[in-house]
Structure 1
Amino acid sequence: MNLLSIVKLKNIDYDEWIYIKDIYLQDLSLMMENIQISKVNKDTVLITSQVSNHKIFKEFKAEKLLERVGEEYGFKCETYSLEILN
């Protein structure tokens, strides 16, 4: 499953987020691979990835763990499944 995450930086800007992204990516790497990060502007980041461990991904979603990390560090993350069209 391919995912697109839109990260809206609320209480921090991109330069500050860069310092905490490693913590966030460490959590993501437990369940995702091919993680790519793109800066849209100083308040928005796009993350694309592929789910590599569906079991852990379901647990994270059920417990809203990534949302809690975002609240703690001052950002909001919306994640969407991407369907590849050929």
Structure 2
Amino acid sequence: MTPDTDHHISVVPVEGGWRVLSPLDDTPLMFLSGAKAEEKAKSLAERLAATGHDAQVLIHDRTRALIGTWRYFADEFPLSELPIRAID
């Protein structure tokens, strides 16, 4: 995938805390701690990568300036496509 097709997960400030916006859910996640919001955003990006999708985490500060980005590349063999081996 190219950067234009990355799934973007953003951490943005809101009144009283931080919001995580992701393509996984229409409902934004809310956190009091910016660190917790960032942790959740990275966790969501790891899940996307594990299922074969490139993801990018975008972190904004209280002025909404972009202060950090992390790229998560799709796994070559996504979990959904791994062969299941029977246990003997």
Q: TM-score range by the shorter chain?
A: 0.3 to 0.5
TM-score by length of 1: 0.33
Mark the structure with the bigger radius of gyration.
Answer: 2
Q: Return the structure number with greater helix share.
A: 1
TM-score by length of 2: 0.33
- Report 1 or 2 for greater relative contact order, CA contacts < 8 Å, sequence distance ≥ 6: 1
